Amino acid sequence: EAQVTQNPRYLITVTGKKLTVTCSQNMNHEYMSWYRQDPGLGLRQIYYSMNVEVTDKGDVPEGYKVSRKEKRNFPLILESPSPNQTSLYFCASSGRSGRGAYEQYFGPGTRLTVT
Amino acid sequence: QKEVEQDPGPLSVPEGAIVSLNCTYSNSAFQYFMWYRQYSRKGPELLMYTYSSGNKEDGRFTAQVDKSSKYISLFIRDSQPSDSATYLCAMSGANSGYALNFGKGTSLLVTP
What digits encode the pLDDT tens for the residues A75-86? 999 999 999 999
Is A41 in contact with B104 (Cβ distance < 8 A)?
A: yes
Judged by CB atoms closer than 8 Å, whether chains meet at A42 and B100 is answered as: no
What is the mean predicted confidence (pLDDT) over A60-79? 97
Distance from CA of A87 to the nearest CA of B (A): 13
| Dist CA A44 CA A35 (whole Å) | 5
Instruction: Work out how many CB contacts closer than 8 A connect A with B.
Output: 59
Closest CA to A34 of A14, A57, A53: A57
Angle of CA points B33, B34, B37, to nearest 5°: 160
* B98/A99 CB distance under 8 A: yes
A111 forms beta bridges with: A10, A88
* pLDDT (0 to 100) of residue A99: 58
- What's the whole-number average pLDDT of chain B? 92
pLDDT classification of B8: cutoffs 50, 70, 90: confident
Pairwise pLDDT comparison (A101 vs B17), residue with the higher score: B17
**Closest chain B residue to A111 measured between Cα atoms?**
B41
What is the pLDDT at residue A100?
Answer: 60
Say how many Å lie between the first and final Cα of chain B, rounded: 38
Cβ distance B99 to A107 less than 8 Å, yes or no, reads no
Burial of A50-78, coded b for 16+ CB within 10 Å and e otherwise, reads beeeebeebebbeebebebeebbebbbeb
The span from the CA of A43 to the CA of B104, in Å, is: 7
pLDDT at residue B3, rounded to an integer: 86
- Write the CB contacts of B90 (distance below 8 Å, at least 6 apart in sequence): A102, B4, B33, B34, B35, B36, B100, B101, B102, B103
The mean pLDDT of A8-15, rounded to a whole number, is 97
Instruction: Give A15 to chain B, closest Cα distance, Å.
Output: 25
Asked if B77 has any chain A CB less than 8 Å from its own CB, the reply is no
Residue B1 predicted with pLDDT over 60: no
Residue B43 has pLDDT above 70, yes or no: yes
Do the chains contact at A102 and B32, CB–CB below 8 Å? yes
Quote the pLDDT of residue B74: 97
A109 contacts on B by Cβ (under 8 Å): 41-43
Closest partner residue to B98 (CB to CB) among A59, A101, A105 is A101
B92 touches chain A (CB under 8 A): yes
